[in-house]
């Protein structure tokens, strides 16, 4: 990635200081021409910088904060909000399982107590639903068996009548008809015999009349028996056949209704059982969640470490300071336990320089508390998007968060220490460089003022790479 090769290519906000400084230098030169002329009418030697060749380092220096590369973040796992009752002082060294934070547990305890009652009710409701389902299954089985038995009896009655009873009844009627006919024949013969005897004077008229009455009675008996056979064949047997067939049909329909009603009732009770089971599962899950919330009111240390309170990158953040009595939200950071064996410095680089910075570039870090020592470092991460937190105060400011990983072993320092990171962009060997204030703009071109005897002359120059002090010519 090529660095900027001229001051004109810089943003106005970055180019202006160099231009203004250049103008100030020119003004200073003019003033010195007037007030501080040497004995020969020229400028003092201190007003000039001897141009020479040498190695030229292009770098970006930004301030930042010392942070741990790896750290354990302790968050509030209690749902909703909770009040801090106790928190271990910042800077303390804690052992694993030491209490770091205690939150107000009164509300969480009340929720657990109420949910335990709801859970017990849900368990009872499930048992009742299971019992009612078994009872309903027993009742429906009995109803189905009863309806099936009624259908079976109706079918048996129909088969009995069709296969035997109708024929028996008809045979009995025909037998009675035959008997009546036989009796009629006997009575008629007796009547004729008695009539002949009476004509010869051997029987009385009373006996003849008696035999005649018997004939009349037997004739009526034959008529009645004959009508009985006709009624059986034409009416009684077909009617009873139809009635028994109807009974079978109704019994079948009743069985179908009982089965359908039974299945419907069982489905209702099964649905109620599923509902109660789901209710119990939800109640159990909420009870477990409430118990977890209650357990979350006491936060132990997951490992040994140094206690550091989190600092918000956004100064306009509405989150309260982490202290006793403060109210914290769910998932809010409470404490950090950094691993100080490997540290980094987080800096923010202006958008005009971000294209020069790449992962893996060499860097150096200087701690504000140890200004005489430089620690080797390397660019570990470059933000892809502008840092949103830095735009609150100035929406037009776009900086990119960059992490510089320190390679050297640091002395016993804690996270949060202020530091400066110098990112090495390029090293130019045998380059001509001048102080950046010596370059100014004249007539739309970059120039430097060169000493020629007792006078100074603006000379156009082509600028190259630069750092905070020097610029390449």
What CATH number is given to the structural domain containing 285?
Answer: 1.10.287
- Rounded distance between C-alpha atoms, residue 162 and residue 157, angstroms: 8
Tell which of 271, 294, 317 closes a domain.
294
Strand ranges of the sheet holding 455-460, from the earlier edge strand across to the other edge: 440-442, 445-452, 455-460
pLDDT digits (tens, 9 = 90+) for 29-75: 433 443 444 444 456 666 788 888 888 888 999 999 999 999 999 99
From the list 248, 288, 70, 252, the residue with the least C-alpha distance to 162 is 248
What's the confidence (pLDDT) of residue 44?
66
Question: Is 27 or 342 the better-scoring residue by pLDDT?
Answer: 342
Q: Are residues 23 and 118 in the same domain?
A: no
Q: How confident is the model at residue 27 (pLDDT cuts 50, 70, 90)?
A: very low
Range in 11-20, 39-48, 299-308, 377-386 the model is least confident about: 11-20
What own/partner pairs with CB < 8 Å and gap ≥ 24 does 213-222 have?
214/187, 214/190, 215/184, 215/187, 215/188, 215/191, 217/187, 218/180, 218/183, 218/184, 218/186, 218/187, 218/188, 219/184, 221/180, 221/183, 221/184, 222/177, 222/180, 222/181, 222/184
What's the confidence (pLDDT) of residue 42?
55
Q: Are residues 267 and 377 in the same domain?
A: no
Residue 21 has pLDDT above 80, yes or no: no
Residue 377 has pLDDT above 70, yes or no: yes
- Rounded distance between C-alpha atoms, residue 115 and residue 286, angstroms: 7
From the list 44, 107, 100, 97, the residue with the least C-alpha distance to 73 is 100
From the list 256, 305, 283, the residue with the least C-alpha distance to 91 is 305
What b/e string do you get for 35-65 counting C-beta neighbours within 10 Å, with b at 16 or more? eeeeeeebbeeebeeeeeeeebbbbbebebe
Q: Are residues 266 and 401 in the same domain?
A: no
Q: Is residue 97 part of a domain?
A: no
Q: Is residue 186 part of a domain?
A: yes
Q: Which domain holds residue 346?
A: 7-70+339-472
Whether the CB-CB separation of 107 and 384 falls below 8 Å is answered with: no
pLDDT digits (tens, 9 = 90+) for 228-269: 999 999 999 999 999 999 999 999 999 999 999 999 999 999
What's the confidence (pLDDT) of residue 397?
85
Range in 26-40, 279-293, 342-356 the model is least confident about: 26-40
As a 3-state breakdown, the chain gives helix, strand, coil percent values, each rounded to 5, of 50, 30, 25
Q: Are residues 345 and 413 in the same domain?
A: yes
What's the confidence (pLDDT) of residue 313?
56
- Rounded distance between C-alpha atoms, residue 303 and residue 74, angstroms: 11
Q: How many CB atoms lie within 10 A of CB 211?
A: 20
Q: How confident is the model at residue 367 (pLDDT cuts 50, 70, 90)?
A: very high
Q: What is the DSSP letter of 22?
A: H
- Rounded distance between C-alpha atoms, residue 66 and residue 60, angstroms: 18
- Rounded distance between C-alpha atoms, residue 460 and residue 26, angstroms: 15
What residues contact residue 331 under an 8 Å CB cut-off, 6+ apart? 75, 76, 77
What's the confidence (pLDDT) of residue 396?
81
Residue 316 has pLDDT above 70, yes or no: no
Number of domains in the chain: 2
- Rounded distance between C-alpha atoms, residue 21 and residue 16, angstroms: 8
Q: How confident is the model at residue 341 (pLDDT cuts 50, 70, 90)?
A: confident
Residue 220 has pLDDT above 90, yes or no: yes
What CATH number is given to the structural domain containing 432?
Answer: 2.40.30.170
In sequence order, the β-bridge partners of residue 347 are: 64, 402
Tokens for 180, please give them.
Answer: 């009546």
Q: Are residues 283 and 367 in the same domain?
A: no
Q: What is the pTM of this model?
A: 0.59
What's the confidence (pLDDT) of residue 414?
85
What's the confidence (pLDDT) of residue 45?
65
What's the confidence (pLDDT) of residue 57?
87
Range with top average pLDDT, 57-66, 192-201, 268-277: 268-277
Tokens for 198, please give them.
Answer: 């009476």
Q: Are residues 54 and 136 in the same domain?
A: no
Q: Is residue 93 part of a domain?
A: no
Tell which of 235, 270, 294 closes a domain.
294
Q: Is residue 168 part of a domain?
A: yes
pLDDT digits (tens, 9 = 90+) for 390-416: 767 677 889 999 999 999 999 888 888
Q: Are residues 375 and 280 in the same domain?
A: no
- Rounded distance between C-alpha atoms, residue 347 and residue 253, angstroms: 86
**CA angle, residues 135, 136, 138, in degrees to nearest 5:** 65
Task: Kindly tell me the sign of the dihedral angle through the C-alpha atoms of 173, 179, 182, 183.
Answer: negative
Q: Are residues 66 and 169 in the same domain?
A: no
CA distances to 58, 193, 401, 434, 462 from 437, in Å: 16, 174, 29, 8, 15
Tell which of 233, 265, 294 closes a domain.
294
- Rounded distance between C-alpha atoms, residue 308 and residue 66, angstroms: 12
Range in 194-208, 305-319, 361-375, 458-472 the model is least confident about: 305-319
Q: How confident is the model at residue 360 (pLDDT cuts 50, 70, 90)?
A: very high
- As a whole number of Å, the end-to-end CA separation of the chain is 20
- Rounded distance between C-alpha atoms, residue 444 and residue 464, angstroms: 17
Range with top average pLDDT, 21-35, 314-328, 377-391, 396-410: 396-410
Q: Is residue 299 part of a domain?
A: no
Q: Are residues 280 and 407 in the same domain?
A: no
pLDDT digits (tens, 9 = 90+) for 154-170: 999 999 999 999 999 99
Q: Is residue 344 part of a domain?
A: yes
Q: Are residues 15 and 129 in the same domain?
A: no
Give the rounded percent of residues in the chain with a pLDDT score beyond 70: 88
Q: Is residue 76 part of a domain?
A: no
Q: Are residues 44 and 188 in the same domain?
A: no
Q: Is residue 37 part of a domain?
A: yes
Q: Are residues 367 and 258 in the same domain?
A: no
Residue 280 has pLDDT above 70, yes or no: yes
Residue 3 has pLDDT above 70, yes or no: no
Q: How confident is the model at residue 460 (pLDDT cuts 50, 70, 90)?
A: very high
pLDDT digits (tens, 9 = 90+) for 47-59: 788 888 888 888 9
């Amino acid at each position: 990635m090529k660095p900027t090769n001229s001051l004109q290519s810089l943003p106005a906000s970055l180019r202006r200081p160099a231009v203004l400084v250049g103008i100030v230098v020119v003004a200073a030169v003019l003033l010195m021409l007037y007030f501080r002329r040497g004995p020969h009418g020229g400028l003092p030697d201190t007003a000039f910088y001897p141009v020479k060749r040498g190695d030229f380092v292009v770098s970006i220096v930004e301030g930042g904060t010392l942070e741990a590369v790896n750290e354990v973040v302790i968050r509030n796992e209690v749902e909703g909000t909770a009040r801090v009752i106790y928190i271990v002082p910042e800077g303390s060294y804690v052992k694993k399982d030491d209490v770091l934070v205690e939150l107000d547990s009164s509300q969480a305890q009340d929720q657990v107590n109420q949910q335990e009652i709801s859970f017990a009710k849900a368990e009872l409701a499930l048992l009742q639903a299971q019992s009612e389902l078994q009872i309903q299954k027993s009742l429906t089985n009995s109803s189905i068996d009863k309806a099936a038995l009624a259908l079976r009896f109706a079918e048996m009655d129909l088969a009995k009548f069709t296969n035997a009873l109708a024929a028996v009844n008809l045979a009995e009627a025909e037998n009675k008809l035959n008997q009546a006919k036989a009796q009629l024949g006997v009575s008629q013969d007796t009547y004729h015999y008695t009539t002949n005897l009476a004509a010869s004077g051997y029987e009385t008229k009373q006996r003849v009349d008696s035999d005649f009455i018997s004939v009349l009675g037997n004739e009526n008996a034959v008529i009645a028996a004959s009508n009985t056979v006709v009624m059986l064949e034409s009416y009684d047997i077909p009617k009873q056949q139809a009635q028994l067939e109807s009974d079978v049909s109704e019994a079948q329909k009743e069985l179908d209704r009982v089965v359908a009603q039974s299945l419907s009732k069982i489905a209702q009770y099964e649905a109620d059982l599923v509902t109660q089971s789901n209710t119990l599962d939800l109640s159990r899950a909420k009870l477990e969640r409430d118990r977890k919330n209650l357990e979350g009111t006491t936060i132990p240390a997951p490992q040994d470490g140094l206690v550091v309170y989190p600092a918000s990158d956004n100064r306009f953040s509405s989150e309260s300071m982490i202290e006793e009595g403060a109210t914290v939200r769910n998932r809010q950071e409470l404490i950090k336990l950094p691993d100080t064996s490997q540290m980094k410095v987080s800096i923010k680089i202006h958008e005009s320089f971000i294209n020069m910075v790449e992962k893996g570039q060499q860097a150096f870090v200087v701690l504000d508390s140890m200004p005489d020592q430089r620690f080797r470092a390397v660019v570990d991460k470059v933000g892809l998007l502008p840092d949103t937190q830095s735009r609150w105060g100035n929406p037009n400011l776009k900086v990119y968060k960059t992490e510089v990983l320190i390679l050297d072993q640091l002395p016993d320092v804690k996270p949060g220490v202020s530091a400066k990171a110098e990112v090495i962009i390029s090293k130019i060997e045998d380059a001509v460089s001048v102080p950046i204030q010596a370059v100014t703009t004249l007539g739309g071109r970059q120039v430097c003022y060169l000493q020629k005897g007792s006078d100074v002359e603006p000379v156009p120059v082509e600028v190259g790479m630069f750092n905070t002090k020097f610029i390449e010519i």
